Amino acid sequence: MNDDHPRRGSGEGTTRHDQPPLLVLKLLDLCLYGLTMAVVIICAATVVSFALGAGWGGSKYLLFVIGFLLFGIGSFGMRPKGAWKDDDDDDDGESRRVSSDDETRLQAFVQAIPPLRWYELDPDDRLSLAAKLFVGSLFVLGTSFVMETAFGVRI
């Protein structure tokens, strides 16, 4: 019953043994962040496309381009650090790292979604932003694919 991540809600009457494993919380945070980001991008691309008069075809095209850009950014960010890089210089890595107190509005929103708001997931335990961008890009590209194959949207 020794759990490093106690529940957030104090008056919910549940015990600490209800806390899922850390890996489950990490994967849930990853999927919810990617899905939330994809929904925001899909809505924005649709509004921009219709505002410019391109309709659903323009929306699908925008989603394809944005999805591949996010895919590249996420892939580039997840690259491992080179073996030739000097690990003795830890101060530079700490100064570039976002502190635990700094949380984006999107991350705060994702933490407020019901499955995650019931559990405590420390910012240091979350997966990287690059991994979240990568998963979000897969959702965006998947939406573009479904628009073309299932709904017949062409450019």
> 10 in a domain, yes or no?
no
Any domain includes 90: no
Please tell me the total count of domains within the chain: 1
CA 141 from centre of chain = 14
Instruction: Provide the 10 A C-beta neighbour count for residue 68.
Output: 14
Mean pLDDT of all residues belonging to the chain: 82
Give the pLDDT band (50/70/90) at residue 102.
Answer: low
Q: How confident is the model at residue 87 (pLDDT cuts 50, 70, 90)?
A: low
Highest mean pLDDT among 10-19, 65-74, 105-114: 65-74
Sorted by sequence, the CB contacts under 8 Å of residue 74 that are 6+ apart come out as 130, 131, 132, 133, 134, 135, 136, 137
pLDDT of residue 14: 43
- Report yes or no on 96 lying in a domain: no
Give the contacts of 85 (CB within 8 A, at least 6 positions apart).
none
87 part of a folded domain: no
Rounded Cα distance, 50 and 56, in Å: 7
The pLDDT assigned to 89 comes to: 53
For residue 17, pLDDT beyond 60: no
Q: Which domain holds residue 121?
A: 20-78+103-149
Other C-beta atoms lying within 10 Å of the C-beta of residue 56: 16
**pTM for the structure as a whole:** 0.76
